[in-house]
Amino acid sequence: MATIEEILRVERIEKDIYRGPAFPSRLVRTFGGQVAAQALISATNTVDEAFHVHSLHGYFLRSGNPDMHTVFLVDRIRDGRSFITRRVTGIQDGVAIFSMSASFHVSTDEGIEHQDQMPPAPAPTELADRREDESEEDKAVYKEWDNFDIRIVPREKMVTSDYFAAQQRVWFRYRHPLPDDQVFHIATLAYMSDMTLLGSSRVPHPDVNPQGASLDHAMWFMRPFRTDEWLLYDQTSPSAAGGRALTQGRIFDLDGRMVAAVTQEGLARTGRTLPKDQYARQDR
């Protein structure tokens, strides 16, 4: 398993051109979180350190080949006094597989402050480590993320609301100490945010195994955080229709601070014959 440090170590090829490394994978396609995180690092490398990313909006255009490097082309859309905008295109074999816009904000601005309250959840240490108690599904999917500690809150331990169609809560963190650089933690969270979120759309349909894939992904970063410390991913799926599912997530640290928000739409198509495990590679 590659470490997150290795995954985020993009190589500068030329001005505004970067290359993200590839690693052996159990997945049939490049993990979307990896592409988004490498694209974000590429964009950040073109921005003055006085600015910090506050939002990103990405589209997964084609399935990536996990055995291939991804080249990232960065367009400098705007350099303002308070905001900077970058557009990044991820390319494999001459075609675009990912497109992202990222906005950076100067770190000295001040304004009003408020946030939603963190929902109740059992402490992560009260939940089983999935690495020590793996189901067959876990073996296929979570082995890819062995360096991450992912603990889904059981339904019987969740406080839910009748106003939401689908709800799921997940504690997660990186298992090993990481550098203090906040840019590194933001990119790591971009990687992690693609984990489990689409699964929230399947909660009301436990007996259905739809074809799933990320279509687009948006994130907003509110407050500093560490990804090697526990974060609660509060997930909902407000709607699924037409073979697509909309999912949303709010991410809180152990102190109850809301540090990020995520919205993602994914494929949720049924009626097609799928491999027994649509995630695991059949040739490995």
User: In this predicted model, what pLDDT tens digit does every residue of 177-229 receive, in sequence order?
Assistant: 999 999 999 999 999 999 999 999 999 998 888 888 899 999 999 999 999 99
Q: Which residue has the tokens 């255009």?
A: 61
- Catalytic choice (92, 167, 214, 235): 214
Q: Tell me the HSE value of 252 on the side-chain side, using a 13 A CA sphere.
A: 18
Whether this prediction's pTM lies above 0.95 is answered by no
Cβ–Cβ under 8 Å, residues 126 and 153: no
CATH topology classification for 4-107+123-269 = Porin (2.40.160)
At residue 161, does pLDDT exceed 90?
no
Structure tokens of 217?
């992904």
What is the pLDDT of the chain when averaged over all its residues?
A: 91
CA distance 172 to 149: 5
- Catalytic choice (194, 200, 234, 235): 194
AA identity, residue 28 = V
> Active-site residue 264, yes or no?
yes
> Active-site residue 194, yes or no?
yes
Cβ–Cβ under 8 Å, residues 217 and 264: yes
At residue 277, does pLDDT exceed 50?
no
> Active-site residue 117, yes or no?
no
- Catalytic choice (25, 38, 237, 264): 264
Residue 280's pLDDT is what? 46
List residues bridging with 244 in a β-sheet: 241, 267
